[in-house]
Amino acid sequence: MSDPADPRDAADTADTADTADTASTANTTDATASSHNATDQQATVPSTDAEILLCIDITAERCDEALDDEITWTLIELGVQNLERQDDETWSELVEEPRPRARGAVRWRIHRLPTEDPDDAIADAFRAALPDDERLEIVVWRRDVTGYRTAWRDYFKPARVSDRVVVHPPWDRPTGALAAGAELIEIDPGMAFGTGTHETTRLCVAALDPLVASGRTRVLDVGCGSGILAIAAVRLGATEALGVDIDPDATREARRNAQVNGVGDRCAFETGSIERTEGTWELVIANILPHVLRSMSRELRARVAPGGHLLLSGILASEAPLIEQVFSEAPFRHVGTERLGDWTSVLLVREP
Ligand SMILES: C[S@@+](CC[C@H](N)C(=O)[O-])C[C@H]1O[C@@H](n2cnc3c(N)ncnc32)[C@H](O)[C@@H]1O
């Protein structure tokens, strides 16, 4: 049994509901959930055969930058995973109406697998670890995610994700002729993030082509998910790629996907974070949430070889200026920021 007094237990993997690929489904539940209070949600949890996730909502009313940073960094330092942060800009009226919190409030939501620990004890443990501030409210509730793990399959269709790359699931292989030079990549993300169709992934795949065209490029993919970026990099010309991910399901799926796509001998995947890697790489890619990118900025920059590139994605347009600033300190230079929908990718070069 986990220790209810230790909020780090929230790092338990509960890997579906917070991935952007499944976000539409997950957010639909948010919309449903938002019309109930937390007690209602607990009372309506089905008792049999249901897949239940524990949600820990930390809401800061009238949140200012200092409190925002303090909470975010405390949660990062606690090693909390499966964390979503939402503020006025990321709140979506499409899926969260009625609005679940007051204007100016920031909400962090943590998903974890339920344990025998009482919800009150979990809330108390977070309360003890976080700043003592009257604006903070912590609510622990349960969410029925039965069927979510596979619901995304209905929406995963073959898609052209860049000029040259077409991805498709194993159960829907395109039959028509491909354009000259096109690369067809089969991806089954399983439990991992990365069908290739999300804007954050598309931005990376589009950037890959010119970056790896020389055919001499070695690529490090931090937060590899299904392996889509490492596989696409090699198929587009990179010599080799190493992917790392803290989620063991992801590295397992990535290995399998690399084999299926005929690049298993040039792609390696390891479970863990960037600390597991050493040396430098001509191209380092990381498509991860901005607060995680910031927390590993020193290591990400250190892994880029002189003259090499750093490609960051997973960044909402409103957050791009901060990421550009954090990462473009010498010897790095900001090359450009690309946008697709609400998302951006930031490309930097390390001066030789
Ligand atoms: C948005 S997904 C990106 C997947 C894939 N690279 C793509 O572009 O579609 C982010 C991935 O980063 C992983 N991740 C989160 N924090 C991490 C960390 N500190 N170190 C390594 N991987 C991390 C998650 O498990 C997830 O698989």
Is 201 domain-assigned? yes
Pair of tokens at residue 240: 């080799």
Is 130 domain-assigned? yes
Pair of tokens at residue 124: 């108390």
- For residue 181, the CA-to-ligand 1 centroid distance in Å is 29
Q: What is the pLDDT of residue 321?
A: 94
pLDDT in tens, the chain (352 residues): 444 444 544 333 333 333 333 333 233 222 222 222 332 333 333 344 678 889 999 999 999 999 999 998 899 888 887 788 888 876 655 445 556 667 889 999 898 888 889 999 999 999 999 999 999 999 999 888 777 767 777 778 888 899 999 999 998 888 877 788 889 999 998 878 888 888 999 999 999 999 998 778 999 999 999 999 999 999 999 999 999 999 999 999 999 999 999 999 999 999 999 998 999 999 999 999 888 999 999 999 999 999 999 999 999 898 999 999 999 999 999 999 999 988 999 999 999 9
188 and 309 assigned to the same domain:
yes
Is 43 domain-assigned? yes
249 and 315 assigned to the same domain:
yes
Residue recorded with tokens 């589009």 = 206
189 and 332 assigned to the same domain:
yes
92 and 169 assigned to the same domain:
no
Residue 79: closest CA among 116, 57, 112:
112
Q: How far apart are CA 287 and CA 106, in angstroms?
A: 23
Is 2 domain-assigned? no
- For residue 244, the CA-to-ligand 1 centroid distance in Å is 8
Residue 10: closest CA among 55, 49, 67, 73:
55
- For residue 199, the CA-to-ligand 1 centroid distance in Å is 14
Residue 128: closest CA among 74, 66, 85:
74
Is 1 domain-assigned? no
Question: Alpha carbon of 83 to those of 72, 78, 171, 290, 314: distances in Å?
Answer: 10, 12, 31, 12, 14
199 and 339 assigned to the same domain:
yes
| CB of residue 243 inside a 6 A radius of ligand 1 | no
Half-sphere exposure of 220 (CA within 13 A, CB side): 23
State how beta strands 240-245 and 183-186 pair.
unpaired
- For residue 285, the CA-to-ligand 1 centroid distance in Å is 10
Residue recorded with tokens 């919800």 = 119
Host domain of residue 56: 7-150
Listed residues 128, 150, 172: the one ending a domain: 150
For residue 195, the ligand 1 atom closest to its alpha carbon is: 9
> From edge to edge, which strands make up the β-sheet containing 218-222?
267-271, 240-245, 218-222, 281-287, 304-316, 343-350, 332-340
228 and 342 assigned to the same domain:
yes
| CB of residue 228 inside a 6 A radius of ligand 1 | yes
32 and 123 assigned to the same domain:
yes
- For residue 233, the CA-to-ligand 1 centroid distance in Å is 16
Contacts of 314 (CB under 8 A, 6+ apart): 20, 200, 223, 286, 287, 288, 289, 290, 293, 343
- For residue 245, the CA-to-ligand 1 centroid distance in Å is 6
Q: What is the pLDDT of residue 24?
A: 30
- For residue 4, whether the previous peptide bond is cis, meaning omega lies within 30 degrees of 0, is no
Question: Alpha carbon of 245 to those of 192, 221, 288, 323, 333: distances in Å?
Answer: 10, 9, 10, 21, 27
101 and 167 assigned to the same domain:
no
Count of domains for the chain: 2
Backbone angles phi, psi at 213, to 5 degrees: -60, -25
78 and 164 assigned to the same domain:
no
Strands (E) across 208-326 are located at 218-222, 240-245, 267-271, 281-287, 304-316
pTM of the full predicted structure? 0.67
Q: How far apart are CA 160 and CA 164, in angstroms?
A: 8
Pair of tokens at residue 342: 């609400």
297 and 317 assigned to the same domain:
yes
Pair of tokens at residue 291: 């607060």
| CB of residue 273 inside a 6 A radius of ligand 1 | yes
In this structure, the residue with its CA closest to atom 19 of ligand 1 is 273
- For residue 36, the CA-to-ligand 1 centroid distance in Å is 31
- For residue 214, the CA-to-ligand 1 centroid distance in Å is 26
Which mutation among 162, 200, 208, 247 tests ligand 1's pocket best, with the greatest number of atoms within 8 A of CB?
Answer: 247
171 and 273 assigned to the same domain:
yes
| CB of residue 290 inside a 6 A radius of ligand 1 | no
Which mutation among 12, 82, 245 tests ligand 1's pocket best, with the greatest number of atoms within 8 A of CB?
Answer: 245
For residue 221, the ligand 1 atom closest to its alpha carbon is: 6
The answer to whether 58 and 136 are in contact (CB under 8 A) is: yes
52 and 101 assigned to the same domain:
yes
* DSSP code string of 38-65: HHHHHHT---SS--EEEEEEEEETT--H
Listed residues 115, 150, 185: the one ending a domain: 150
In this structure, the residue with its CA closest to atom 13 of ligand 1 is 223
Listed residues 104, 121, 150: the one ending a domain: 150
